[in-house]
A and B are shown apart, each in its own frame.
Chain A
Amino acid sequence: MQPTESELTHRSPAEGTRRSFLDVLLGSGFASTLMAIAYPVWRYLIPPLSGEPATASVVAAQGRQVKPNSGLLFKFGNKPALLVRTPEGELRAFNAVCTHLECTVQYKPDTSQIWCPCHNGLYDLGGNVVSGPPPRALQRLTVNQREDDVVVSLA
């Protein structure tokens, strides 16, 4: 099976093209195998969409639980949200995910502001950025009271 010395040194041009043809065949065979493996792996790596529906509204708390000049974190769908009672007694709710790098914000009673501890971002009680790195205002949620239940829903 091994080519002899003279066959190796005196290869005819026809044999040259035959060899490169076989090389191309072999190479494309390997390439298509790789693709046949890479495609399913790539699709597998993409996580399937979770079946969880977007939350429309939740009961965040009992109204009397939230004292003036305080805040309360609650679960809104699969995200945290913040219910705030202003010093004047008004209830407001925000998506508690900081618009900077997705930390969870909290109520800061000493200055009556919303504060993100990760990078010291400050928002006022309208959700607007006061200082720090956040690029946008916090998303506001709608607050309604049904008897003593505080019902928060998407705006």
Chain B
Amino acid sequence: MSSVIDWLDDRLDLSGLRHFIAEKGVPVHAQEIWYYLGGMTLFLFMVQVASGILLLLYYRPSATEAYESVQFIVTQVEFGWLVRNIHSWSGNLLIASAFAHLFSVFLLKAYRKPRELTWVGGVLLLFLMMAFGFSGYLLPWNELSFFATKVGTGLAGAVPFAGRALLRFLRGGDDVTGATLSRFYALHVAILPALTTVLVALHLLFVQRQGMSVPLKITRRLQRGERMKQMPFFPDYLLRDVLVWYIALAALAALAAFYPWELGRKADPFAPVPAGIRPEWYFLAMFQTLKLLPSHILGIEGEKLGVLGFGLAALALLLVPFLDRRSAREEPSPVFTALGLVALAYLIVFTIIGYRAA
């Protein structure tokens, strides 16, 4: 091993890398536990890439064969059930972990200067993960996913002005058909992965470049001359990261083995909509909000207003580091803390209501 490194060093000069590895440290303090969430999200994403590639070997993206090919994977291919369950569960855990990462970064104000771009990239990655979830949900072409996609893409039709065109663009036509499946497949296995790869690389590069953010309270203590402990990243912190990944892997394996993801019945456009149709849990809060909106508010369609609201909320989320001027000046900003807690409470409450209502 060391001779291989010497050989490479001789040709590529690894002194910069070696210096980086030796110097990289992680601050040790009371809130340090939140640092693990980003790594866990990354780990689950890698699980998605690996299990997704495996599924590609047998999956067939067409309205006549998609359902049968997934059925084939889970019944005929050895360990196919495991691969599919891992992919489904890991996708859900990934989004949960990404949300937890987002809120922890938000509440610790880790987005403040100089990490604004890391935040923007991270929020975009969360949107991409949700797009992954939405497009992947349709691929087994079963009843539930078919109607959920009808409803979800139908919402795009409520976007002001461009709604109709957007709906046709998403569906590849006026209705959810095999053409929609082809589009969602392309999105899910080519377009989204390409975008995600670039954004993940940038996100990680920024984190490496800037090191871990330290919460405001602690930077104040540092300004008063207190010293902060650092832990070397290699190998101390990395081993702790690996430990967290093991916990995620164990949870994933247990869920995949004991709670298999149902395949349901094959989609039939002319069958009645099954009762209790609802999207995946991470869209439930939005779904429930739209349900509660009256059909017309001040002469505008409720749906349109809702979609507009979601759009504005997404934009506000992206721009948080630029809106929160106090944090940028390293001052406490209780307003943003309160906003974050309200948003968190809203998401949790509406998800629970949505879950119980459906």
Contacts and interface: CB of A to CB of B under 8 A. Distances in A.
B79 A40 contact: yes
Interface in B215-265: 246, 249
A48 B76 contact: yes
B77 interface: yes
B54 A43 contact: no
Interface in A46-65: 46-48
Instruction: Find the residue from A44, A47, A48 having the highest chain B CB count within 10 A.
Output: A44
Contacts of B249: 33
Interface of A: 33, 40-41, 43-48
Contacts of A41: 54, 79
Interface in B46-85: 54, 57, 76-80, 82-83
Nearest to A26: B239
Contacts of B57: 44-45
25 contacts: A33-B246, A33-B249, A40-B78, A40-B79, A40-B82, A40-B83, A41-B54, A41-B79, A43-B78, A43-B79, A44-B54, A44-B57, A44-B77, A44-B78, A44-B79, A44-B80, A44-B82, A44-B83, A45-B54, A45-B57, A46-B78, A47-B77, A48-B76, A48-B77, A48-B78
Nearest to A44: B79
Nearest to A51: B76
Nearest to A48: B76
A47 B78 CA distance: 8
- DSSP class of B's interface residues: helix, strand, loop or mixed? helix
A44 B78 CA distance: 5
Interface of B: 54, 57, 76-80, 82-83, 246, 249
Contacts of A44: 54, 57, 77-80, 82-83
Contacts of A45: 54, 57
A44 B82 CA distance: 10
Nearest to B72: A48
Nearest to A49: B76
A96 B211 CA distance: 66
Given A41-B54, A41-B79, A45-B57, 20 more contacts: A33-B249, A40-B78, A40-B79, A40-B82, A40-B83, A43-B78, A43-B79, A44-B54, A44-B57, A44-B77, A44-B78, A44-B79, A44-B80, A44-B82, A44-B83, A45-B54, A46-B78, A47-B77, A48-B76, A48-B78
A33 B76 CA distance: 25
Nearest to A46: B78
A40 B82 CA distance: 8
A33 B77 CA distance: 22
Q: A-B pairs with the 5 shortest C-beta distances?
A: A40-B79, A43-B78, A48-B76, A44-B79, A43-B79
B70 to A, nearest CB: 14
Contacts of B82: 40, 44
A41 B47 CA distance: 13
Contacts of B80: 44
B227 to A, nearest CB: 13
A41 B79 CA distance: 8
A42 B57 CA distance: 13
B244 to A, nearest CB: 14
Contacts of A40: 78-79, 82-83
Contacts of B246: 33
A44 B73 CA distance: 9
Contacts of B79: 40-41, 43-44
A87 to B, nearest CB: 45
Nearest to B75: A48
A133 to B, nearest CB: 33
A111 B54 CA distance: 50
A45 B249 CA distance: 21
Nearest to B232: A2
A48 to B, nearest CB: 5
Contacts of B77: 44, 47-48
Nearest to B246: A33
A46 B78 CA distance: 8
B161 to A, nearest CB: 47
Contacts of B83: 40, 44
